[in-house]
Amino acid sequence: MSSLQRRLQRTNKDQYTLTIPKQLVQLLGWSTKQKILFGFDRAKVTLSPLDTATSTSPGLVRILQRTPKDQFLLTIPKALVQLLGWKDKQEILFGFDKGKISLEATTPKQRSTNDEQPITGGEAHE
């Protein structure tokens, strides 16, 4: 699994969580307890910080959490997981564009391709 790919995890409370790569959180300047807005762009799920000053109808928002192991965790709305057809332990690929994180489920072909190719282009590694 590449450093910009994580597994969706189902908790014992029937919630879904995703560990957000620390380098993306740092690159975007996000912080613990920041409100994150879920959106859609070109058939991908996007994550962006909620601008509380301009937002009147936030839609799907969750709070970015930091674990005792210094990882960043985001609860993914169950309805969104079901709508997208994602499953427990589904591998999720992270992208980055215009200050937003994009998420998409990987296919078996993508997984093997991503595992074989190193990440390049100046992206930070944990």
Give the predicted TM-score (pTM) of the model.
Answer: 0.75
Query: In the chain, what is the greatest distance between 2 CA atoms, to the nearest angstrom?
Result: 44
pLDDT tens by residue, 76-87: 999 899 999 999
Residue 112 has pLDDT above 70, yes or no: no
pLDDT tens by residue, 92-101: 999 887 778 9
* 91, amino acid identity: E
Half-sphere exposure at residue 38, Cβ-oriented, CA atoms within 13 angstroms: 19
Q: What is the percent of the chain where pLDDT is above 90?
A: 50
DSSP state of 56: S
Q: What is the percent of the chain where pLDDT is above 70?
A: 77
Domains of the chain: 5-116 (2.40.30)
